[in-house]
Amino acid sequence: MTQELAVQQVLAHYVRAHDQRDGVAMAALFTPQGRVDILYNNAGKLEPMGELVGRETIANAVAHMMKPHPARGWSHNATDGLLIDIDGDHATVDAQFMVFNIVGAARPDTGWPQGATGAQGTITPIESGYYRQSLVRVNGQWLIEALRIIHNLPMAF
Q: What are phi and psi of 113, to 5 degrees?
A: -60, 150
Q: What is the C-alpha to C-alpha distance for residues 62 and 105, in angstroms, rounded to an integer?
A: 26
Task: Provide mean pLDDT across the span 90-101.
Answer: 97
**Domain boundaries of the chain, sorted by first residue:** 3-69+82-98+127-151
Domain 3-69+82-98+127-151: top CATH class: alpha beta
pLDDT score, position 68:
84
pLDDT score, position 156:
78
Mean pLDDT of the chain: 94
Task: Provide mean pLDDT across the span 129-153.
Answer: 97
Per DSSP, the three-state class of 67 is: coil
67 or 76, which is more confident: 76
Q: What is the C-alpha to C-alpha distance for residues 139 and 31, in angstroms, rounded to an integer?
A: 12
Give the chain's end-to-end CA distance (angstroms, integer).
39
Residues pairing with 92 in the sheet: 85, 134
Query: Which parts of the chain are beta strand (E)?
Result: 30-42, 45-53, 73-87, 90-104, 121-138, 141-151
pLDDT score, position 116:
87
pLDDT score, position 155:
81
**pTM for this model (two decimals):** 0.91
Task: Provide mean pLDDT across the span 69-89.
Answer: 94
Q: Is the pLDDT of residue 157 over 80?
A: no
Q: What is the C-alpha to C-alpha distance for residues 154 and 47, in angstroms, rounded to an integer?
A: 9
| Pure H helices in the chain | 3-20, 23-27, 55-60
